[in-house]
Amino acid sequence: MGFDSPGGPDVFRAETLPVPTPGAGDVLVRVAWAGVNRPDVIQRQGFYPAPPGASPIPGLEISGVVVAIGEGVAPEMLDRRVCALVTGGGYAEYCLAKAAHCLQVPREMTLQQAAAIPETLFTVWHNVFERGWAADGETLLVHGGTSGIGTMAIMLGKAFGLTVIATAGSDDKCTAIRDLGADLAINYKTQDFVAEVGSFTEKRGVNVVLDMVSGDYVARNLECLADDGRHVTIAVLGGLKAEINMATVMRKRLMLTGSTLRARPDEFKALLADEIYNHAWPLFEDKTISPVMDQSFPLAEAAAAHARMEGGAHIGKIVLEVAGG
C-alpha–C-alpha distance, residues 132 and 134, integer Å: 5
pLDDT of residue 272: 97
Residue 226, domain CATH: 3.40.50.720
Q: What angle do CA 43, 44, 50 make, to 5 degrees?
A: 35
CA distance 174 to 224: 19
Query: Where among 258, 281, 309 does a domain terminate?
Result: 258
Per-run averaged pLDDT (10 residues), the chain, 325 residues: 91 94 97 97 92 93 98 97 97 98 96 98 98 98 96 98 97 97 97 98 98 96 98 94 96 97 94 97 96 96 97 95 85
Tell me: do 67 and 135 sit in the same domain. no
- At 150 the pLDDT is 97
Q: Is residue 153 part of a domain?
A: yes
Grouping H, G, I as helix, E, B as strand and the rest as coil, residue 121 is helix
Residue 214 has what pLDDT?
Answer: 94
Q: Give the whole-angstrom CA distance, residue 318 versus residue 105.
A: 19
258, 279, 305 - which closes a domain = 258
Q: What is the pLDDT of residue 298?
A: 97
Task: Assess contact for 28 and 80: CB atoms under 8 A.
Answer: no
Q: How many residues does the chain have?
A: 325
The range of the structural domain enclosing residue 79 comes to 9-117+262-321
Quick one: pLDDT at residue 324? 75
Q: What angle do CA 33, 36, 41 make, to 5 degrees?
A: 145
215 Ramachandran zone, left/alpha/beta (phi>0; psi -120 to 50): left
The reported pLDDT for the residue numbered 1 is 86
Q: How far is CA 314 from the centre of its chain?
A: 14
Dihedral-angle region of residue 196 (phi above 0 means left; psi in -120 to 50 means alpha; beta otherwise): alpha
Q: Are residues 180 and 274 in the same domain?
A: no
Q: Give the 3-state secondary structure of residue 153.
A: helix
104 and 137 in a common domain:
no
Residue pair 302/91 in contact by the 8 Å Cβ criterion: yes
* Total domains present in the chain: 2
